[in-house]
Structure 1
């Protein structure tokens, strides 16, 4: 009795397993999921870079002090060098969060792309000082330059906000392009699911017309197709998420130096607990949440598309 009930429960009068094959649609959805994951990764990365570049560059000034070891113009007790006098003046700047003078090793690293790894320079290099301002207190570069020139003539103050704004606009453009790519991928997925559903409807036209004439509602028939399509789309979305995960981890490790000054994330391991911890530190939290939501989103798109396609097709029946 139980076996008969189980077979009856699993019976499929519409033969949806033949109408909607369980191989082609998941494969197509998996490919769309990989493309969507990569596009969403680009959108998330562009947004993070835009926020970092805009806020970081806008809140930092670069000060160059020629002949830093010469005596300062201002009379102080004890006498200060030009570099020390500028550092003292910067420390008293309203809204200053951090003042950092680059040491010889940092200057060598900064000039290495142009001068190589040679540390002995023939000319005296100017002192380079980074002034980090509080976000709520933007610096007046012109007023600061005049004040420092009175202490150490020839001191240059470079405002980085303009470049930060340009980089921010570039990142915003990349973010918009990535979102457009996501929209295109979703549109292609909708077209593919609709075409697959219409092919399944055409293959089972006679049984559908028969049960429809016997009183089956549009909601019942559309629901049977939609549940089948949603399951296949969920499987495809899950497979696409798994396939996209190594690519996203690799891209995150490559982009890490541009997004943070911290050390690169550790290499993922085979241990599950350590692997999830490493993944949380490797991928941005919004991207992890998006990756987890990819399969449910694919199932929802499949369900809605199939419902609309089947109901529209049923309205054409006599």
Structure 2
């Protein structure tokens, strides 16, 4: 009678890799990614708008330093061409003036076209004659001297440095920037709250595993690290999706503005904000925002896990 072969029990048992505490995919995870993507998209648009307004305000401030305007008010019996010629001569003789350029009637009509339409006849309207005076960036401008000369020798000509109007525009721009930063903070706060609820939901779904690990002596840092890595990945996915959508919106808006050059609406926007172009700082800001949201998501989940585990003690 032949003996049956014996199966050795000394062979090492096949090691099993433990599964993650937090499921790799779940409904709550997909929902959180969508929420983070939407929040990142809105925050990215806010970053672009803030950058556009900030750059425009800086350009306004540079313009007021580089140039000023002489206005000649029309009046009965006043020869605007003669007064403009005299005012231009006085401006050229003033210290700190680089260039003097009187606006013709056609150029003035083009300036008013976005607001008053084409085919404008200046003879029918009391439109002032404009002279643009470009200033030196190195030599100081003798503003008081030019004002005195205009009052004495060029009747109806006044010097306007746009300071009062520009100060209002810059104040408005700074207010918009502050509001935009406030919106950005609120979006980040809403994202953090969403992560808190998602983390609590994930812990509630894995409550038995978390409690067993906690009571057998697993360190809180180990459990928190499991959640942190998972939510860091979720935050990064949502941040990249929302940030990419925001950048795509910037490109589409710039393309639409380029295609609409010459229309009344685009001309009015150009007159107020200059050429619509989102700068490189806005794109860099969106990239930084993606990283901030991913880190914020991970840290928020970690702190939430620590607070929950301490409540079990």
Normalization by structure 1: what TM-score? 0.78
In structure 2, stretches of 5+ residues that fail to align are: 1-13, 258-265
Alpha-carbon offset, residue 53 of structure 1:
2.2
2:80 maps to which of 45, 48, 68: 68
Aligned to 2:10: none
2:207 maps to which of 182, 205, 208: 205
Alpha-carbon offset, residue 187 of structure 1:
0.4
Aligned pair count?
282
Separation in 1 of the partners of 2:20 and 2:37? 28
Q: Which has the larger radius of gyration?
A: 2
Is the contact between residue 99 and residue 130 of structure 1 (CA under 8 Å) also seen in structure 2?
Answer: yes
Alpha-carbon offset, residue 256 of structure 1:
5.5
2:307 maps to which of 304, 309, 312: 312
1:175-205 deviation per Cα after TM superposition (whole angstroms, max 9, x unaligned): 0000000000000000000110011111111
Alpha-carbon offset, residue 137 of structure 1:
6.3
What SS class does the counterpart of residue 225 from structure 1 fall into? helix
Aligned to 1:156: 158
Is the contact between residue 40 and residue 287 of structure 1 (CA under 8 Å) also seen in structure 2?
Answer: yes
What SS class does the counterpart of residue 118 from structure 1 fall into? coil
Matched, 1:237 2:239: yes
Separation in 2 of the partners of 1:161 and 1:102? 21
Matched, 1:38 2:40: no
Separation in 2 of the partners of 1:256 and 1:298? 34
Alpha-carbon offset, residue 212 of structure 1:
1.9
Aligned to 2:29: 22
* Superposed counterparts of 1:47-126, under 5 Å: 47-57=54-64, 59-65=66-72, 67-70=79-82, 82-112=83-113, 113-114=115-116, 116-119=118-121, 121=123
Separation in 1 of the partners of 2:27 and 2:126? 75
What SS class does the counterpart of residue 210 from structure 2 fall into? helix
Aligned to 1:174: 176
* Superposed counterparts of 1:4-23, under 5 Å: 8=17, 11-17=18-24, 21-23=28-30
Aligned to 1:145: 147
1:220-269 deviation per Cα after TM superposition (whole angstroms, max 9, x unaligned): 111110110010110001111122223223445466654436xx7xxxxx
Q: CA RMSD in A?
A: 2.7
Separation in 2 of the partners of 1:57 and 1:199? 56
Is the contact between residue 222 and residue 307 of structure 1 (CA under 8 Å) also seen in structure 2?
Answer: yes
Separation in 2 of the partners of 1:126 and 1:206? 81
Is the contact between residue 109 and residue 117 of structure 1 (CA under 8 Å) also seen in structure 2?
Answer: no
